[in-house]
Structure 1
Amino acid sequence: MSTDSRVPAPISRVAASEDLGRVSLVATDVDGTLTRGGKLDPAVLAAIRRLTAAGVVVLPVSGRPAGEVQGLVRYVPGVTRGLAENGLLEIVPDHAPRWLGRATDRARLRAAGERMNLEFAAGLRVTGDDYCRLGDVAFEREGRDEAELLRLRGHAEALGVHLVWSNVHVHLAEAVPDKGLALLQLLHKRGVDPEQVVTIGDAPNDAGLFTAGRFGLTVGTADVLAQLAYFPSPPRAVTTGGEADGFIELAELLLAARGG
């Protein structure tokens, strides 16, 4: 492993030097972190069940729309709430979504995407789950590499909107998406010490979860290593495995620290 300060330490090394038994909440990205090949992995669901049984809250923090996160928090065992649309909304079953960021003008965001298609050959295609969205506008990533995404980001900023991407979507928003800031708001509301929180993610839309000084421990799956240039602040630790394997690796370390 490089000694470059931007390269995260292996999670096993960090776990050996820190008390992970203090962790009371895991805030986790969904796509590319809880999934394998685009599907929720049964081993991940088992790990979540074990964490919650051990007293560790698991909180999904997703770029997915409010409607999809509503289903996720209703049906995943042990999960009772989540954050949707990169932190714009808190989702709790049987309650209306609660805005954490200010309400947005989706028509303006759609118009920006259409203009990018017309003037800059962006080729953006609105996601099929758009009808479930309340805040941002998302488009299918469809294999775009980072160079193309950076080109589109530049055009979006010139139009006064912000572009960020996950491993599946390209998002347009009125403010820079910040999952971490939304998470801090939720933690304050619920009286949870951020020092007792571990965050984990895999893509540039998770950058706010990695911001230094916000949370007790920030973790990237192995997938972040090829994307470090796109994180203003890299995670402090990195898992050996990518996608679901990374989350399971973190879960096993947290459970071991609790004697589970």
Structure 2
Amino acid sequence: MSLIPLTEAIQTNALQHIRLIATDIDGTLTKQGKLTTDLLQALSQLKQAKIPIILITGRSAGWVQALKYYLPVTGAIAENGGLFYPFEFDQPQFLISLNSLSQHRQNLAQVFQILQVQCPHLHASADNPFRFTDWTFDIQNISLSEIQLLTELCEELGWGFTYSTVQGHIKPKTQDKATGLLKVIQQYWSELTPEQILTIGDSPNDQTLFNSELFPESVGVANLLDYTDQLTHKPRYITAGLEVEGFCEIVNIFHSFLVP
């Protein structure tokens, strides 16, 4: 499937029916790893347009719990679909079943140790103490062949694996962004149709959000083009701008909904 330039959607008002946006953070809302004033303005415009924003990221629960208070968003999904923080509550809503959190963490740590035997240069990410549902390691300087090896090893051990521009993630097989997002939508926005939801991302751990059978309307910011050969699912549209500049292009679509 070829990617349609976002300009075509703008010209044809193709996304005027969107009533909720779910977006990745790193590489999608950031610029060189930082939040910008352009992002804050764009999110404020969407809030004025009464379009709920759900952040959906691979970042840890601790990181997301803090972030949701500082941005004008409706809620945030952490750990690639592991848990959801509604704006109005401090406690997370788990989106996967865990019989014992402590045992789950031990199991994840053991899987990581097995991966280290095959790839000794893997380093656990500093944010693991702030995670509940997955285990992460730094992704820099890891080759595509090693990514494939890690994926296969996790599969053999009964676990899932995904990665972003930031981290590799060991996780339960059924845990992914799309599955988590669908659970949140069913609970809080069950009146919406799939065509009224726009999903946005930039890397392989976003690809379930690009599954057109689940989310017909999706956008990749331009830096996603670095990964298209590695994606099973690709977004419908692609922006011209990289990172947050691409996100701001998307927000421009919704100017007609803004409150005067």
* Aligned equivalents of 1:72, 1:170: Cα separation in 2: 21
Give the Cα separation in 1 of the matches to 2:230 and 2:127. Answer: 26
Select the residue among 145, 149, 152 that pairs with 2:150: 152
For 1:111-130, list aligned pairs within 5 A: 111-118=110-117, 120-130=118-128
Question: Separation in 2 of the partners of 1:249 and 1:144?
Answer: 32
CA–CA distance in structure 2, aligned partners of residues 188 and 160 of structure 1:
28
AA partner of residue 195 (structure 1): E
Q: Verify the 8 A CA contact 1:58 1:79 in the aligned structure 2.
A: yes
Contact 1:166 1:205 in 2 (8 A): yes
Map residues 111-260 of structure 1 onto 2, 5 A cutoff: 111-118=110-117, 120-190=118-188, 191-193=190-192, 194-256=194-256
Please say if 1:46 is aligned against 2:45.
Answer: no
The CA RMSD measured in Å over matched residues stands at 1.8
Structure 1 segments, 4+ long, off by >4 Å, are: 256-260
Residue 259 of structure 1, CA deviation: 8.3
Output the CA distance in 2 between the equivalents of 1:63 and 1:122: 23
State the Cα deviation string for residues 98-136 of structure 1 (Å, max 9, x = none): 111222612111111111112x12422121111111110
User: TM-score if structure 1 supplies the norm length?
Assistant: 0.91
Instruction: Report the 3-state secondary structure (helix = DSSP H, G, I; strand = E; otherwise coil) of the residue aligned with 2:16.
Output: helix
Q: Secondary structure at the match of 1:198?
A: strand
Aligned to 2:7: 12
Given the superposition, is the C-alpha separation of residues 122 and 11 from structure 1 closer, same or farther in structure 2, using an over 3 Å criterion? farther
Aligned to 1:90: 84
Change (3 A) 1:124 1:147: same
Match of 2:17 among 5, 18, 22: 22
Verify the 8 A CA contact 1:166 1:203 in the aligned structure 2.
yes
- Return the letter of the residue paired with 1:73: K
Q: Relative to 1, partners in 2 of residues 1:140 and 1:252: Cα closer, same or farther, differing over 3 Å?
A: same
Residue 115 of structure 2 aligns to a residue whose secondary structure is helix
CA distance in 1 between partners of 2:221 and 2:105 (Å): 31
- SS of aligned partner of 2:26: coil
Q: State the shift of 1:176 in Å.
A: 4.4
Partner-residue secondary structure (3-state), 1:68: helix
Identity of aligned residues (%): 31
- Tell me, in whole angstroms, the C-alpha distance in 2 between the residues paired with 1:141 and 1:256: 40
C-alpha change, 1:75 and 1:60, in structure 2 (3 Å) is same
Give 1:247 shift.
0.8
Q: Name the amino acid aligned to 2:111.
A: A
Matched residue type, 2:225: L
Q: For 1:73 and 1:13, how far apart are their aligned partners in 2?
A: 32
The 1:165–1:122 alpha-carbon spacing in structure 2 relative to 1, beyond 3 Å, is farther
SS of the residue corresponding to residue 213 of structure 1 reads coil
1:72–1:232 CA distance, 2 compared to 1 (3 A): same
TM-score normalized with structure 2 length: 0.91
Instruction: Give a deviation string over 1:181-238, Cα, whole Å, max 9, x none.
Output: 2111111111241321111000111111111122241111112222123222211111
Is the Cα contact below 8 Å between 1:122 and 1:152 reproduced in 2?
A: no
After TM superposition, the structure 1 stretch with the greater mean CA deviation from structure 2, 127-136 or 152-161, is 152-161
1:236-260 CA deviation, whole Å, 9 max, x = no partner?
1111111111111111122246587
Q: Match for 2:230: what amino acid?
A: Y
Q: Which residue of 1 aligns with 2:26?
A: 31
Q: Tell me the distance in 2 between the aligned counterparts of 1:16 and 1:259.
A: 21
Encode CA deviations 1:31-84: one digit per residue, 9 max, x unaligned. Answer: 1101111111221111001111111111100101111111111111x2131101
Matches of 2:141 and 2:240, distance apart in 1: 24
**Residue 159 of structure 1: how far off its partner (Å):** 2.1
Amino acid at match of 1:213: E
Q: CA deviation at 1:14?
A: 2.5
Q: Which runs of 5 or more structure 2 residues have no equivalent in the other structure?
A: none
Looking at structure 1, the residues matched to 230 and 97 of structure 2 have their Cα atoms a distance apart, in angstroms, of 25
Contact 2:96 2:175 in 1 (8 A): no
